[in-house]
Amino acid sequence: MKKVNIILFGIGNVGGTLIAQLLKTRSLWTSEFGMSLNVPVISNSEKALFKPEGIGENWKVDFDENAQTYKLEDILKFSQKHQLENPVFIDATASKDVVLEYPKLVCKGFHLVAANKIANTLSIDFYYELRRALDKHKKQFYYETNVGAGLPIVQTVQELYGAGEKITKIRGVFSGSLSFIFNSFSDSESEFSEILKKAGELGYTEPDTREDLSGNDVGRKLLILARELQLRKEFEEVKIQSLIPEKLNGKTSSENFQNRISELDELFEKYKKEQQNDHVLRYVGEIEVGKSNLQARLISEPRDTALGQIKGADNIFEIYTESYGEQPLVIQGAGAGAAVTARGIVCDVLKLSQSLN
């Protein structure tokens, strides 16, 4: 029986959903794959629960009653003391501080699975430093959810590139939140601010919706895919169109911005009216590989195209290659939500686990 031990950092919306999925899945993995899955450590930024035998269904109560303040060294000592086989560190946070510890974790014997995008979007020097550490210590790093939540976009790009396929362009709607916002806005008479509020209520946007409207999330996803294609790009080189008027950016507080979002209505109504017939608004990311050009921007797209037809919070990626010619490989599906993101992490853990000796 192959044993895999999960050390989870981040037990919020995605992390909590992930725990539920792992606990539900482990009996299947035992019967189908001969693999024993254990979760001996779960933590947030302040406290950690250490259970050598692994957490169970009542982990929330257990965490509230028994979690203790900790440092990373405590996790390393715990892992060594209990001789945890095949330890996998899962990062379900958005913390830069955690990411900076990745090389040390790898050196101490941990594999990595991350929903956190930061490790793949820091400087190119850090990017390759981490990969050198992974190679040296023969550890693995999976991060499918960095780009398409539960969609297999990173894996597909890696496999095409590794097979010698020349990828010429990647284009698509990379953000589930912006997808929902513009899909809804293009097909309704509602004000832009009303749709923005609804997206927040559904949990598609960040608490400060400027995080979504800035386009930075799309820019980071473009950078991640570009680096998979060995383009040595920095985040500052990505051309990003922000959708936030200058008067609502800068020093304006998040609360003040939320109170003033109706000021966006006139601008976006103008964008809508300036379109040709049978066109819709889409916030699109695009990589032109030959020109080493990465761009995120709002466009008007014909309604009858693949990008024009998406609904809800779907993501869609068009991958253009020499073999496929003018017809791209298209990957489409849910691009937002804790359940699909958590499921993507579970898939990464399964792929990693199956590759272990």
Distance (Å, rounded) from C-alpha 225 to C-alpha 229?
7
DSSP 25-77: HHHHHHHHH-EEEEEEEEE-SSEEEE-TT---TTHHHHHHHH-EE--HHHHHH
Ramachandran region, residue 88 (left: φ > 0; alpha: ψ -120 to 50; beta: rest): beta
Which of the residues are catalytic?
Answer: 221
Task: Tell me the pairing of strands 293-302 and 239-240.
Answer: parallel
Question: Which strands, in side-by-side order, build the sheet including 314-321?
Answer: 239-240, 293-302, 279-288, 167-173, 314-321, 329-334
CB 140 within 8 A of CB 134: yes
CB 149 within 8 A of CB 315: yes
